[in-house]
Chains A and B, each alone.
Chain A
Amino acid sequence: MSFTLRSVKVAPNSASLEEARIRVFDFFRSACRSIPTIMDIYNLDDVVTPSQLRASIASQIRKNCHITNPKVIDMLLFKGIEELNNVVEHAKQRHHIIGQYVVGSGGLVQDVGTKDQANSNFLKNFYETNYF
């Protein structure tokens, strides 16, 4: 399965924004289709659900939704395909997947408490770092 993805050649440039858009959707679909394999090879069943992983992939794509240059989209798409290849080929380890796609940028200790707006700048900085 994984080697079928490796054989994918670099496609020629997208002629238009529309073509690039279709390619992105294709990439998203292929990523979604490999989610069961990823869950399996990285033992992710007890930490994450397929829908969470899907949402994580979607948010990575949506992060670049403002880009309209088809060349840039092609480049990003290429990077995405490469990343997916690496993941599916087990070129990564479990903590890479967990760190990057399960925990994400929020960090381990999530600020789930009330976001108190009354705090001074000192306290807000204090919660962030020692150096301010």
Chain B
Amino acid sequence: MGLGLLASRALRSSRLLTSPSPRFSFLRPIVSTPELQNPEAAQAQPEAPPPADLPKRAPVAGARVHFTNPEDAIEVFVDGYPVKIPKGFTVLQACEVAGVDIPRFCYHSRLSIAGNCRMCLVEVEKSPKPVASCAMPALPGMKIKTDTPIAKKAREGVMEFLLMNHPLDCPICDQGGECDLQDQSMAFGSDRGRFTEMKRSVVDKNLGPLVKTVMTRCIQCTRCVRFATEVAGVQDLGMLGRGSGEEIGTYVEKLMTSELSGNVIDICPVGALTSKPFAFKARNWELKGTESIDVTDAVGSNIRIDSRGPEIMRILPRLNEDINEEWISDKTRFFYDGLKRQRLNDPMIRGSDGRFKAVSWRDALAVIAEVIHQVKPEEIVGVAGKLSDAESMMVLKDFLNRMGSNNVWCEGNGMHPNADLRSGYLLNSGISGLEKADAFLLVGTQPRVEAAMVNARIRKTVRATEAKVGYIGPPTDLNYDHQHLGTTTQTLKEIAENRHPFCSTLSNAKNPSIIVGAGIFERGDKDAIFAAIETIAKNCKAIRPDWNGLNVLLLNAAQAAALDLGLVPESQNCIESAKFLYLMGADDVSLEKLPSDAFVVYQGHHGDRGVYRANVILPASAFTEKEGTYENTEGCAQQTLPAVPTVGDARDDWKIIRALSEVAGARLPYDTVSGVRSRIRVVAPNLLRVDEREAATFSSSLVKPEIKQEMSSEPFGSAVENFYMTDSITRASKIMAQCSAMLLKK
């Protein structure tokens, strides 16, 4: 926040101003800075000319100004410093560019301006009163003063009014230690109160299983109301009453049913909205933060995992403008308690009585190695799970290839994935690139449940530019204006043949964007559907050198990396003929057709669906416990970092397969994670360029063979049935179970 800097500056200058006078020795005034009691006198102080050798100030948080048009630049003076800013900036933004952090409660850079907290008051020359800097546009030649007695007096007064009705419960408040009100009252508040009446109290609201409310602490900044209406797109929160009876609440007794509702916890500047699962669990200063990546969907949101000892206490978003801005979905924020339940601790072998027995790693690997030599190479099948990292998938593929089998794939990619060209499975325009689009066609995808952050981006675009959205798929609840064009491939065919009214919207659009759901990968007529979509893209000129609007929205964190690494099964019905099945965290692969005498090895961190059929269990570490590379749906490779130690006798995924390969007599040639990565460099070097988006180079329509397949009339299904429970970790989570029970009620 830079508040420390501000506070120290405020302290330094107030020491200069406060001259201890014997007059006040008996009767002390309530205001801490006596000279400020008379603003006129303070204003009349001789204006010191700005010294010539002003030290250069850095903008707040490294903010950079982008001038779209150099003629639009205007110059203002902040505390005497000349600053060049583009037209349309507010006074507060100008101060940030000048390196002055203005205290604020209601202002948030990603929300609309409310201007109701009055904390950001600054003095502007020739203005009769202090102005609210967050709502005042900066004008050329404006002389802004942030450090004058008038501004300080104004802040002190605002603080006094805010604290009047704010309870003194910081010692039991979950926000304590990271509270804006706490910090700013230390920096700008008066050092004593003169309030003797009763504080008001407000009834707490029930917002559901995720957000805890203590409404007496609320200072009515309305950030949460603006977030809900503008970003999350639900009209659940609002302001009731006026004056001292003003309250935030749902108008009727109602839960907040947004997939982004957890973000109101972050934007609340006080402890009025806090995390319910985190309530009274830990203090923020005793937590260790680890910067990591979310794996519950294919977006790869940047997160910070806060842990205390071996336990994950909470998950917070990290700023990444290209992926998740500063929001994360509720699933990302609250699934972490699933990492404490249903964990696999020890290697286990199923005995003849059908019960699992804990064994040593040596025995478990020896049993598997013995079985794998008794089956034919083509009967060996491997499936990577949806949470697998690139390293372990690389090692799995190498191991099965050494055993003579090439039947390895990643669940969710279907049995005949198109891994030839990266443009065939990536979100080619990029998540932030979606903001440039002015018409969307969603085919068989419900971004709101499949990738909540991508949906938030589409909503942002629709709100900003009124882009048109057409949707083909089962009826769903998208939180922006859209046309539901149809539910079957028939509509797709009509658009491809230019017989549909939506065609004109697409062809009139400058940057049309077609988003195809990865649920289609599992369909038999996938190639025909993609051919039709490519025809549409060609008709509306969605693929140009400067814009690629043909996007595939993936579902799982492992999918993109698996296709990059070439995890494509050799035969389409290998499950039916499998005698040895290696499940690397794969829980959602259908095992009904698996022969009953097949030997199943399950390697993973949760006792989920895959374990029911397993003969041997190998415990692996979860993504919070290992360093792994994940590629998100737009082709950006990112790395997780270990935040907590592994559970029980678990090992990292790639190490298990590397050890098994040695026991089975087909030793893989790498011993370290850097060795695995140099192997990845040979196959897919883009996975090693971490935090960089590697866009697809070719566009697939140029080189594809003719498709003879016909589209079936089967309607599009929904790929995600329950937003809150999509993988083994979220299915083990109690909070996610509560959410699905309470929030998905129809």
Contacts and interface: CB of A to CB of B under 8 A. Distances in A.
Given A113-B363, A122-B671, 17 more contacts: A109-B358, A109-B359, A111-B360, A111-B362, A113-B360, A119-B662, A120-B667, A122-B662, A123-B659, A123-B662, A126-B361, A126-B659, A127-B362, A127-B659, A130-B646, A130-B652, A130-B655
Interface string B645-675: 0100011100100110011000100010000
23 contacts: A109-B360, A111-B360, A111-B362, A113-B360, A113-B366, A119-B662, A120-B662, A120-B667, A122-B658, A122-B659, A122-B662, A122-B671, A123-B662, A126-B361, A126-B655, A127-B361, A127-B362, A127-B659, A130-B646, A130-B650, A130-B651, A130-B652, A130-B655
Provide the main secondary structure of the chain A interface.
loop
B621 interface: yes
A127 B655 CA distance: 11
User: Which of A119, A121, A126 counts the most B-chain CB atoms under 10 A from its CB?
Assistant: A126
Interface in A83-132: 109, 111, 113, 119-123, 126-127, 130
A111 B363 CA distance: 9
A123 B360 CA distance: 13
Interface centre among B362, B651, B655, B671 (most CB of A within 10 A): B362
> Contact residue range for chain B?
10 to 19
Interface of A: 109, 111, 113, 119-123, 126-127, 130
B43 to A, nearest CB: 65
Nearest to B650: A130
Interface of B: 358-363, 366, 621, 646, 650-652, 655, 658-659, 662-663, 667, 671
Nearest to A118: B662
A111 B359 CA distance: 10
A132 to B, nearest CB: 9
Contact of B671 (A111, A119, A120, A127): A120
A127 B364 CA distance: 11
Contacts of B659: 122-123, 126-127
Contacts of B658: 122, 126
A126 B360 contact: no
Contacts of A109: 358-360
A78 B570 CA distance: 71
Contacts of A119: 662
A47 B663 CA distance: 34
Contacts of B358: 109
A123 B652 contact: no
A60 to B, nearest CB: 26
B356 to A, nearest CB: 15
A103 to B, nearest CB: 15
A130 B655 CA distance: 8
Nearest to B671: A122
Contacts of B363: 113
A126 B651 contact: yes
